[in-house]
Structure formats: structure tokens, C-alpha cells
């Protein structure tokens, strides 16, 4: 486990938040740092991410997820599919305490970590599920379903489409914006918008893919 230099990590995080022009309170920044500390600690045993350096985790994971936060401006009830170590789900939950964020993963050690973060950071707006998304049933459907590097877009919408409320949308966080994946989307799903993201400190392609059902 790499040494967690909280002051150095806080500097990188705060600079990134300023560059993204996000209005986060000091308490929210501290919670993001607490989350990073837990991710670093658990990663040595649970292998939650291949990134081992906590400073790199800030850029590659937290700022990468924070860059997507404005896209969720109107969302009230979000599901993060294949949440893994909580990206973007935990970052969304900390950044938007007014928004409900559910996270689902099939791997028990990952959801155990997510539940630990929820408890330690006292995130009342978080729900965690351990199962395949195809088998999930909920009383209230989600207005946004998201994922980060989870699966092919067709699989993503096929597996979780039953959980999206009418008029809701998928927001997929992708590196490149694969044209073949977008073209293979099954009816009635269609890419409504493709938005490039600029992540502070990251020289790599990042895109948001917005998918909705085409009205008949």
C-alpha cells in the first residue's frame, strides 16, 4: 500500500475541483479525501483498482468522475451499474448529497467496500446492491443509469433498461467514443448526445455518451 500523503493529495484534488469549476464545500472535499484514503487502504487487499498510487487515483478516478458531475444536474435517483470501487457512484453521492445514488456490482468484496464507505462517511443517500443488474427489481425506477467502463453500450442498455423510468436516460462514461458500439444499439435506444470531457491533469480521451429511447 502506497503512503497516503493527505496534504499532497488534497492539493491535487482542490486544484482539479477549481479547474472543473465545481462548487464543493470543504466538508465535501474532506469526504472525497476520506473516500480516497479508504480506497487506497482496501485496494491493497481487495484489488479494487489497478492504480496503486493515491495521487494517480485522484486524477484517474476521482477527477475523472467529478468531470461528469454537471451532466447529472437534473438527476434525482441514479443507478451506477458495475460500480466496482464506487466510480462514479461514490463521487456523485458525495458531490450531490441531495441526489439518491444506488450502486450495483456482482463482486461481494467490492460491495463490502462500498458499504464500508457508506457507513464511515455517513452517506445517507447511498444504497448498495450485490447482484446482477438483470436480476435487480426496484419499487421506484431510476431517472439516470450510469456506468464507467462497464460494458459494451448494447449490453449496458439491454441489461439495465428495465430499471430506467420513462423519459429517463443512460449516461455512460467512456474513454474513446466507439462508433461501432453506438451504431449497434438496439431499438428503441439511440445516442442523443456525445460530450467530450476535459479531466484536469489527464491527457487522454474521455467522453460521456447520453442514450435515450427514441419516441415512436
Instruction: Note the pLDDT of residue 1.
Output: 66
Whole-angstrom distance, CA of residue 79 vs CA of residue 60 = 21
Find out whether 206 is annotated in a ligand binding site: no
Find out whether 74 is annotated in a ligand binding site: no
Instruction: Note the pLDDT of residue 150.
Output: 83
What are 114-166's pLDDT values in tens digits? Answer: 999 999 999 999 999 999 999 999 999 999 999 998 889 999 999 999 999 99
Find out whether 87 is annotated in a ligand binding site: yes
**Mean confidence (pLDDT) of the chain:** 95
Interval 41-63 mean pLDDT: 92
Find out whether 169 is annotated in a ligand binding site: no
pLDDT band at 216 (very low <50, low <70, confident <90, very high): very low
Does the pLDDT of residue 80 top 80, yes or no? Answer: yes
**Number of neighbours of residue 60 by Cβ within 10 angstroms:** 19
Task: Please answer whether residues 174 and 209 qualify as being in contact, where contact means their C-beta atoms are separated by less than 8 angstroms.
Answer: yes
pLDDT band at 45 (very low <50, low <70, confident <90, very high): confident
Domains delineated in the chain: 6-213 (3.40.50.150)
193 forms beta bridges with 210
Sheet holding 77-81, edge to edge: 126-130, 100-105, 77-81, 142-148, 164-174, 207-213, 189-196
Does the pLDDT of residue 87 top 50, yes or no? Answer: yes
pLDDT above 90: percentage of residues in the chain: 90
What are 100-117's pLDDT values in tens digits? Answer: 999 999 999 999 999 999
Whole-angstrom distance, CA of residue 59 vs CA of residue 56 = 5
Peptide bond preceding 212 in cis form (omega within 30 of 0): no
Find out whether 133 is annotated in a ligand binding site: yes
Instruction: Note the pLDDT of residue 151.
Output: 86
What are 165-209's pLDDT values in tens digits? Answer: 999 999 999 998 788 999 999 999 999 999 999 999 999 999 999
Amino acid at each position: 500500500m502506497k503512503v497516503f500523503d493527505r496534504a499532497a493529495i488534497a492539493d491535487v484534488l482542490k486544484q482539479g475541483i477549481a479547474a472543473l469549476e465545481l462548487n464543493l464545500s470543504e466538508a465535501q472535499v474532506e469526504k472525497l479525501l476520506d473516500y480516497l484514503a479508504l480506497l487506497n487502504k482496501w485496494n491493497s487487499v481487495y484489488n479494487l483498482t489497478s492504480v496503486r498510487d493515491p495521487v494517480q487515483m485522484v486524477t484517474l478516478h476521482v477527477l475523472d468522475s467529478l468531470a461528469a458531475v454537471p451532466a447529472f444536474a437534473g438527476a434525482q435517483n441514479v443507478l451506477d451499474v458495475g460500480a466496482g470501487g464506487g466510480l462514479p457512484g461514490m463521487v456523485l453521492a458525495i458531490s450531490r448529497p441531495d441526489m439518491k445514488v444506488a450502486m450495483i456490482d456482482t463482486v461481494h468484496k467490492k460491495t463490502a467496500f462500498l458499504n464500508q464507505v457508506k457507513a464511515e462517511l455517513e452517506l445517507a443517500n447511498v444504497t448498495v446492491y450485490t447482484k446482477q443488474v438483470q436480476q435487480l427489481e426496484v419499487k421506484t425506477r431510476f431517472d439516470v443509469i450510469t456506468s464507467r467502463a462497464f460494458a459494451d453500450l448494447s449490453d449496458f442498455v439491454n441489461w439495465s433498461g428495465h430499471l430506467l423510468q420513462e423519459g429517463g436516460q443512460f449516461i455512460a462514461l467512456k474513454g474513446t467514443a466507439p462508433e461501432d458500439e453506438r451504431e449497434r444499439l438496439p431499438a428503441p435506444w439511440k445516442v442523443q448526445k456525445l460530450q467530450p470531457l476535459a479531466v484536469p491533469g489527464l491527457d487522454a480521451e474521455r467522453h460521456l455518451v447520453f442514450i435515450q429511447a427514441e419516441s415512436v
